[in-house]
């Protein structure tokens, strides 16, 4: 179309997620992400919390099978936040939550930008030991507690 142009920008909700979590009174928080290819997610949230961060090693295979490797972290007595961009079925994150609870984490919180939460994902996450699920309102769910309006409006 002649004369038509559009501009796109990549916005991140991670600063908003970190800000929200900073008001929750977390104890000695550690922020983790599932994807070692995008560690800035955990780093951004950790900066807002004044916390350390790390990631789980995860490999996606062409067959659709995802393998996430155990990782020993100093979780004992700490609140752990596991962040990701999208939570669909929550299976991979539930495995990580259970692993962190076995490492005697105080509480484990799950946070994401897009809470799809299909096929019983909330049940799976809570059953694994998650204390809470926090998401933005990019997709409405009972866990969509963070508004994206401010970050979207600042880029208009």
Write out pLDDT tens, residues 72-101.
Answer: 678 899 999 999 999 999 998 999 999 999
Structure letter (DSSP) for residue 33? E
Residues carrying an active site annotation:
58
State pTM to two decimals: 0.86
Does residue 5 have a pLDDT over 80?
Answer: no
Structure letter (DSSP) for residue 126? H
Sheet containing 144-146: which strands, arranged edge to edge? 52-55, 30-33, 79-87, 107-115, 130-136, 144-146
How does residue 64 score in pLDDT terms, banded at 50, 70 and 90? low
Question: Using one digit for the tens of pLDDT, what is the confidence trace for 112-140?
Answer: 999 999 999 999 999 999 999 999 999 99
Distance CA 155, CA 152 (A): 5
Does residue 8 have a pLDDT over 60?
Answer: yes
Q: Residue 134 in contact with residue 21, Cβ under 8 Å?
A: yes
How does residue 106 score in pLDDT terms, banded at 50, 70 and 90? very high
User: Alpha helices, DSSP H only, in 23-62?
Assistant: 40-49
Ranges of each domain in the chain: 14-153
For the chain, the average pLDDT equals 87
Q: What angle do CA 133, 86, 110 make, to 5 degrees?
A: 25
Q: What percent of the chain has pLDDT over 90?
A: 66
Distance CA 110, CA 84 (A): 8
Residue 41 phi, psi (nearest 5): -55, -55
Does residue 153 have a pLDDT over 90?
Answer: no
Name the nearest CA neighbour of 78 among 112, 44, 54, 114.
54
How does residue 61 score in pLDDT terms, banded at 50, 70 and 90? low
- 87 - beta bridge partners? 115
Q: What is the CATH number of domain 14-153?
A: 3.40.50.2020
Does residue 37 have a pLDDT over 70?
Answer: no
């Amino acid at each position: 179309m002649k004369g038509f142009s559009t501009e796109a920008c990549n916005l991140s909700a991670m600063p908003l997620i970190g800000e929200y979590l900073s008001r929750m009174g977390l104890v000695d928080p550690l922020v983790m992400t599932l994807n070692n290819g995008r560690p800035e997610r955990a780093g951004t949230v950790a900066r807002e919390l004044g916390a350390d961060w790390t990631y789980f090693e995860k490999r996606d295979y062409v067959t659709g099978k995802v393998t996430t490797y155990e990782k020993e972290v100093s979780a004992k007595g700490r609140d752990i936040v596991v962040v990701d961009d999208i939570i669909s079925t929550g299976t991979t994150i539930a495995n990580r939550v259970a692993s962190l609870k076995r490492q005697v984490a105080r509480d484990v919180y799950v946070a994401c930008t897009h809470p799809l939460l299909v096929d019983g994902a909330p049940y799976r996450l809570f059953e694994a030991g998650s204390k809470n699920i926090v998401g933005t309102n990019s997709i409405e769910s009972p866990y969509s507690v963070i508004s994206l309006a401010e970050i979207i409006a600042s880029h208009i």
